[in-house]
Amino acid sequence: MTNPVREEIIRENERDLMTLTLNENIPHIIKYMGSKRKIIDYVIEGINECYTGGTVVDLFAGSSVLAGALRGQTPFVSNDIQEYSSVLAKTYLGNYHWDDNPNILEEIIEKATIKVNYFNERYPDISFDYNVDFTLSQFNELEKKQQELIERDFSDIEYHLFLKYYSGTYWNFEQCLWIDSIRGVAEEYKDSDFYYPIISSLMFAMSYNSQSTGHYAQYRDATNNKNMNDILIYRRKEIVPYFIRKFTEFQNVLQENQQPSNVVSKDYIDCLNNIAIKSTVYADPPYCFVHYSRFYHAIETLVRYDYPEVKYKGRYRTDRHQSPFCIRSQVRSAFERMFAIINERESNLVLSYSNTGMIKLDEIIELAVSTFDDNYTIQARSLDYLHSTMGRKEDKSREVQECLLLVKRNY
């Protein structure tokens, strides 16, 4: 004879085991447009509505904050077409044994310092001092001289991409020299667990030393004394203290992680075609017409470090990815293809989208209803919150409605 009380306790325990919780200490790494950090508890609540065990797939990982939020709880796949996202995800998901090299931070700084000193010995004529009083014209002349370094040949220096391409733009020459030097040191740890935290710490330092508004769509020009003085705040910052601050946080917060994970940089269709059956997919595609490859090209170049062809004032890569979710004529079919494959993979979907997106929420819901088969239940919920526009003059934050579309398969 069965015991109904015992069976209910077993069912309750199984539900508890399948409930994902928010890791409270998620290291913040970069300023990121559209990041779900502020509403990550709302996102996880939605995922729990659909999650029935198995793998969680972050299909458009971006800043990879979900990887940090769910670290160590479930098998996890993190995907984004931009390679910088994979570095962030691998940092969050790494399995760390810091005691294996307790002096790792001191080693990194010492090795980077050697590279900086070597460059300064080879090029004693290149020096730019921001710790003086400027007129506006003097300041702009100093900036221009650095920008002209893109015409110089530094081929005798192994790591010189940023000082050549970006001096006097988002960062000053000295900051770029340290970026190159630390990036060079990172390669010495390529086969260790420390590689990704080194580059992520450098991304953090770059983000908070950059004179742009939080992304790299364009750097600011000093058109008046007020602009100049604001830019000078960032020109007088140093990369190393910010690097140390973040790397130390990683050492304190990120420890062992035994859960399996897979981090890939694929088109969303290619990723979905390879997910496990009965996964739970979290999809946070771009909402508007601007491409993330324009806003974050500089950290993509940091990761790839491939000396790309660059153009225009922003010094953009010429091979930037163009997402169909950012193109009005393609966005509907992009959603249809995503829904169809998730349905084929018998998986659940939690979709984040905004009422300010390229396609109306009602249309997305209609697409989901017509695409997913009768084994699915579909519901929508929404949350009002202030979304940062990352420095636009007319509206630095904007009230938006964040919708979660919950598509759950009934097994």
Largest CA distance in the chain: 90
- What is the rounded distance in angstroms from the CA atom of residue 144 to the CA atom of residue 130? 13
Do 196 and 213 touch, CB atoms closer than 8 A?
A: no
pLDDT score at 13: 44
The answer to whether 75 touches 260, Cβ cutoff 8 Å, is yes
203 contacts 302 by C-beta, under 8 angstroms: yes
pLDDT at position 9 is 44
List, for residues 348-374, the tens digit of each pLDDT value: 999 999 888 889 999 999 999 999 999
Low-confidence stretches of the chain (pLDDT < 70) are 1-17, 289-293, 385-398
Rounded CA-CA distance 47/275 in Å is: 17
Rg (CA), the chain: 23
Placement of tokens 């969050």 in the chain: 92
The number of residues in the chain equals 411
Q: Which residue has the tokens 């946070």?
A: 284
- Asked if 331 and 361 count as a contact pair (C-beta separation under 8 A), the reply is no
Q: Hey, what CATH topology would domain 4-69+278-286+333-409 get?
A: Rossmann fold (3.40.50)
**Spatial distance between the Cα atoms of 205 and 240, rounded to a whole number of angstroms:** 7
For residues 380 and 403, is the Cβ–Cβ distance under 8 A? yes
Q: Enter the pTM of the model.
A: 0.91
Distances in Å between the alpha carbon of 26 and those of 32, 71, 117, 247? 15, 9, 35, 13
d(CA 343, CA 272): 10
Query: What is the distance in angstroms between the CA of the first residue and the CA of the last residue of the chain?
Result: 27
The region, left, alpha or beta by phi > 0 then psi within -120 to 50, assigned to residue 210 is beta
- Backbone dihedral angles phi then psi of residue 379, each to the nearest 5 degrees: -145, 160
Do residues 287 and 353 make contact, with C-beta atoms less than 8 angstroms apart?
yes
Helices (H), 262-349: 268-272, 292-295, 297-304, 331-344
- pLDDT value of position 23: 93
Nearest one of 407, 342, 335, 352 to 376, comparing CA atoms:
407
Helix (H, G, I), strand (E, B) or coil at 205: helix
What residue spans define the domains of the chain?
A: 4-69+278-286+333-409, 98-253
Residue 95 · residue 256 · CB < 8 Å: yes
- What pLDDT, on a 0 to 100 scale, did the predictor assign at position 213? 79
Note whether 394 and 357 are within 8 A (CB).
no
**Which residue, among 391, 389, 390, 387, has the nearest Cα to 399 in the 3D structure?**
387
- What local confidence, expressed as pLDDT, does residue 336 receive? 97
Q: What tokens appear for 21 in the block?
A: 């919780």
317 SS3 class:
strand
Residues 194 and 148: their CA atoms lie apart, in Å, by: 35
Closest by CA to 404, choosing from 280, 265, 261, is 280
Q: Of 179, 123, 120, nearest to 152 (Cα)?
A: 123
pLDDT digits (tens, 9 = 90+) for 107-142: 999 999 999 999 999 999 999 999 999 999 999 999
Q: What is the pLDDT of residues 222-278, one digit of tens each?
A: 999 999 999 999 999 999 999 999 999 999 999 999 999 999 999 999 999 999 999
Least Cα distance to 91 among 194, 245, 243 occurs for 194
Joined together, the tokens standing for residue 377 give: 């239940």
